[in-house]
Amino acid sequence: MPSVERFNPARLEVFKQLFQAVAEEMGEVLMRTGFSPNIKERRDYSCAIFDAHGETIAQADHLPVHLGSMPMSVRAALAAHSLAPGDMVMLNDPYAGGTHLPDITLIAPIFAAQGAHPIGYVANRAHHADVGGIAPGSLSLAREVYQEGLILPPVKICRGGEIVADLLAILQRNVRTPEERRGDLLAQIAANRVGIQRLEYYLARYGAAEVTTYGRALQAYAERITRSLLAELPDGEVHSRDALDDDGLGGVDLLIALTLRIAGDTATFDFTGTAPQVEGSLNAVAAITLSAVAYALRLAIAEDIPTNAGSLRPITLIAPEGTLVNARPPAAVAGGNVETSQRIVDVALAALARLLPDRIPAASQGTMNNVTFGATRPRPFAYYETLGGGAGAGPAWDGASAVQVHMTNTHNTPIEALERAAPVRIERYAIRRGSGGTGRFSGGNGLIRTYHFLARTEVSVLSERRTHGPYGLAGGQPGLPGENHLHLPDGTVRPLPGKFHEHLPAGARLTIATPGGGGWGTPPNAAPLPLPPS
């Protein structure tokens, strides 16, 4: 029987692809059976496989912001419940392994034949377009987590293969679109069940010992590759810092500070000096911060390796409690998941650029441009999407335009799907020419999207990089900040801040212009610019 120390490399590759394929198939099931455009079209979900201790074995290439933080959800479920075949745990509590309330995670155990204890778990996380709270879409200017929606601690949504009807009824009664939520949740259940079926087949084919052994071997392989990268870097420490524009409720220029220490084959990401948690929703829980730094380090690894728990073992995270990067309850956290996560990546990449200047790109748009809107009359609806922007240029390439970057990996919502789901018409959707930073290589351009609301609608936007544009590197120019504008039916046009909540009349138009990416390298006939401030 193979061991973690001695195994067949070819067999390791077989199991790497096997585990990956299961996670990918789970995602396909979720996409094909989901109800909302957010699941069917944007594919705002993630799927992964875990070992008996709740550590990641494999994950599909879905959303980095979900996947790096999901292990904490699995461990929270294991701490709260003993799971039998057919059981499934549901949670979204950011302070119990979740990220923000719209992200609902489902965890299910995997048993070998005649096994008394789970040998692993499958899990998926999906962003629900509404989970209650003070505004449609559950991503508004909340001041505490209780205003952001229904909070679900780890609870069993399935027992012995049967859905717990009372729990489902509670969830549906607390949201604006109950049937859509039910449909998306059933799609999540179906995805986990398919993952279990596939893994049970492989357990029967190869035996539990070989499957679990190669799961551990993949984790060990990812750890070795990560350590080998870190060992190539010089020992010492580098510093970087950047700021969030504001929290939407008065706090501005919110500092995120990082000291990156390299010692042998280990890395410590120390966020001491970061701003305290704020009144608005830009507070991130520690799971988000770990997810962001793990993603940034993964970008620096040139080799194609499995992304699992092994790649996290050489990393130490220092995130002081009560700060933007490790908030304490009852802080609001909806924006921390979608916006602060992006700035943490920007800060981490700026630090890595000092160590790997020939590998790390300039800053990308640094925001997800979250747009949520809905109404309860005349018919209830709730809609959510994020908008792409410019990617940062690199040492040998121009940045891509109008793409999702870094912590989000969702698709574009087709205009036809949006207009079918809500009383809105998209009047303009275009590349924002000239918004990318110039340089030897140019940053990608942002985009422009104009919504024409055909009925009275409640709209919330959480967006960043409206004040501080994405930085360039090696002398490249920064990308242009984004802009938000409102056009009222009476002809009034006014700029809007990066974060706002408005009740708009029928006929109102909202235009979102997203940031461009930073440029890389000194442009022709220009004086060189310094690195981002340390």
Distance CA 457, CA 220 (A): 51
Whether residue 34 has pLDDT greater than 50: yes
Task: Report the mean per-residue pLDDT for the chain.
Answer: 94
| Arithmetic mean of pLDDT, 301-305 | 76
pLDDT tens string 456-473: 999 999 999 999 999 999
Instruction: Output the pLDDT for position 339.
Output: 97
- Coil, helix or strand at residue 303: coil
Instruction: Output the pLDDT for position 2.
Output: 43
Instruction: Output the pLDDT for position 390.
Output: 98
Whether residue 137 has pLDDT greater than 80: yes
Give the residue extent of every domain in the chain.
Answer: 9-221, 361-534
Among the listed ranges 65-69, 144-148, 282-286, 320-324, which one has the minimum average pLDDT value?
65-69
Among the listed ranges 173-177, 419-423, 522-526, which one has the minimum average pLDDT value?
522-526
- Confidence band for 534, pLDDT divided at 50, 70 and 90: low
- Confidence band for 320, pLDDT divided at 50, 70 and 90: very high
Whether residue 62 has pLDDT greater than 80: no
Instruction: Output the pLDDT for position 149.
Output: 97
Instruction: Output the pLDDT for position 411.
Output: 85
Long-range (24+ apart) CB contacts under 8 A made by 73-76 are 73/97, 73/98, 73/105, 73/107, 73/123, 73/125, 73/287, 74/50, 74/107, 74/121, 74/123, 76/154
| Arithmetic mean of pLDDT, 37-64 | 90
| Arithmetic mean of pLDDT, 239-257 | 97
Instruction: Output the pLDDT for position 3.
Output: 46
Instruction: Output the pLDDT for position 265.
Output: 96
Whether residue 70 has pLDDT greater than 50: yes
Distance CA 67, CA 105 (A): 11
Distance CA 398, CA 303 (A): 22
| Arithmetic mean of pLDDT, 239-251 | 97
Instruction: Output the pLDDT for position 499.
Output: 98
Whether residue 4 has pLDDT greater than 60: no
Instruction: Output the pLDDT for position 410.
Output: 87
pLDDT tens string 117-128: 999 999 999 999
| Cα separation of the two ends of the chain | 51
| Arithmetic mean of pLDDT, 304-325 | 92
Distance CA 84, CA 159 (A): 8
Whether residue 533 has pLDDT greater than 60: no
Instruction: Output the pLDDT for position 1.
Output: 38
Distance CA 183, CA 419 (A): 20
Whether residue 256 has pLDDT greater than 70: yes
- HEC per residue, 112-177: CCCCCCCCEEEEEEEECCCCCCCCCCCCCCCCCHHHCCCCCCCEEEEECCEECHHHHHHHHHCCCC
| Arithmetic mean of pLDDT, 338-367 | 96
Percent of the chain with pLDDT over 70: 96
Q: What is the enclosing helix (H) or strand (E) of 500?
A: strand 499-504
- Higher-confidence position of 258 and 531: 258
pTM exceeding 0.85: yes
What does the block give as tokens for 492?
């009034």
Cβ distance 133 to 140 under 8 Å?
yes
Whether residue 109 has pLDDT greater than 80: yes
pLDDT tens string 77-107: 999 999 999 999 999 999 988 899 999 999 9
